[in-house]
Amino acid sequence: MANFDLTNLAVKMIAPNNEVIVDETGHPSVVVYIPKFKLSDVLNTTDSSTHPAFIVNGKEIPGFYVSKYQNIVDAGVAYSLPAEDPGVNINFDNARARCEAKGNGWHLMTNAEWAAIALWCKKNGFQPKGNNNYGKDTSESNYRAIPTYKDGDGKTCRIATGTGPLTWYHDGTMGGIADLNGNVWEWQGGFRTVYGEIQILANNDAADPDNPQNNTSLKWKAISASDGALVDPECSVTGSPARTGSTVKLKWSGSVWIYSTNMGDNIPDTYKGHVFASLTADNTVSAEAKLLLRALALLPDEGSQASDYEGDYCYFNAYESERCAIRGGSWNSGGYAGLFALDAYHGRSLAHTGIGFRSAYIPDIG
């Protein structure tokens, strides 16, 4: 087994919040540490509760590590390494399996973890750019990265991980997380919709592989619209849609999605989306439920402006049964890509050249 102590030392000299962690297979991954913070640190609220990303199985954790780079796969195991073509053509369950193959504490990055990073960036006034326009960002003309995959017309699609400029890192420094905006969409653990009902695993419980995320898992919970508590779902993957009830669901109204307890009769069966900033909730959804949605980057912050989300788009599907989530955008998403970009239109079996994933790590999980 190689000794990566000197490599880790060199990395930490450049970026103290970065680390090279050797997994149980003996291979390294470069990760970025995200320390614990409160809801009031990143949202317009007086609630000082710990953000859900830092609570696993009912216990608070000091922080989590997230892959600095979109992952590759070698011999069935996920790795976070620079200057690589990101692993794609992998469905939700296989992405989870590749991350968990790294050993104890490793998991597919969860939506709660992604949301924590997105909210931190927004609060600190920096939204990273990235490969969302065939090798470059829509707002930049001079910065490009190393191409790794081109389409039939010779246009750059995917780029080598971490080879973009500093504006493509989540905090604008070499110590940041690369390529969260564009390049390839990334599967997210712990969040899904079932016939339009929002379902999640509690807090960051999706980080523990012992909490199953298969389509019939009892760990999936709905959100009570009256108080934000997690309750048994009203919609089941093996049943029929429950269009009304007491849990938070998606309602298509005119040209936008609205969170409500009543989905109504207008359930579109086509790809429907709009800017994230236009997501709202009606008066059937309490302040407590809205706060949870905001904490998970599923609803704009109270008092925020449309410009705060820079045109990031969201897509949902309330017509079909289980739909899983990908976030961030792709090389051809344009201005729709970004930290708040969310696509919950597809099933867990989807595999595509524009969809990849990222592992995360919490020591001594369980």
The domain spans of the chain are 1-366
Residues contacting residue 45 through CB under 8 Å, at least 6 positions apart: 39, 291, 294, 302
Whether 113 has a pLDDT exceeding 90, the answer reads: yes
Q: What percent of the chain has pLDDT over 90?
A: 90
The dihedral sign for the CA sequence 203, 209, 213, 216: negative
pTM score of the predicted model: 0.96
Q: Write phi, then psi, for 13 (nearest 5 degrees).
A: -65, -35
Q: What is the pLDDT of residues 239-275, one digit of tens each?
A: 888 999 999 999 999 899 999 999 988 888 888 999 9
Per-residue CA distances from 139 to 111, 133, 192, 312, 333 (Å):
26, 9, 31, 14, 13
pLDDT score of 365: 82
Is residue 119 within 8 Å of residue 292, measured between CB atoms? Answer: no
Whether 6 has a pLDDT exceeding 60, the answer reads: no
Per-residue CA distances from 44 to 40, 51, 60, 292 (Å):
6, 13, 22, 13
For 333, the token pair is: 């998403």
Q: What is the pLDDT of residues 332-350, one digit of tens each?
A: 999 999 999 999 999 999 9
pLDDT score of 304: 94
For 296, the token pair is: 């998970």
Q: What is the pLDDT of residues 26-35, one digit of tens each?
A: 989 999 999 9
For 33, the token pair is: 């540490």
Whether 88 has a pLDDT exceeding 80, the answer reads: yes
pLDDT score of 1: 45
Question: Which has the closest alpha carbon to 159: 129, 184, 138?
Answer: 184
Pairing outcome for strands 63-67 and 359-361: antiparallel
Whether 354 has a pLDDT exceeding 70, the answer reads: yes
Whether 36 has a pLDDT exceeding 50, the answer reads: yes
Mean residue pLDDT across the chain: 95
Question: Which has the closest alpha carbon to 263: 317, 192, 196, 315?
Answer: 196
Average the pLDDT over 166-191 and give the result: 97
Q: In angstroms, rounded to a whole number, what is the distance separating the alpha carbons of residues 201 and 183?
A: 27
Q: In angstroms, rounded to a whole number, what is the distance separating the alpha carbons of residues 53 and 110?
A: 8
How big is the CA angle at 318 (ends 356 and 118), to the nearest 5 degrees? Answer: 45
Q: In angstroms, rounded to a whole number, what is the distance separating the alpha carbons of residues 156 and 145?
A: 10
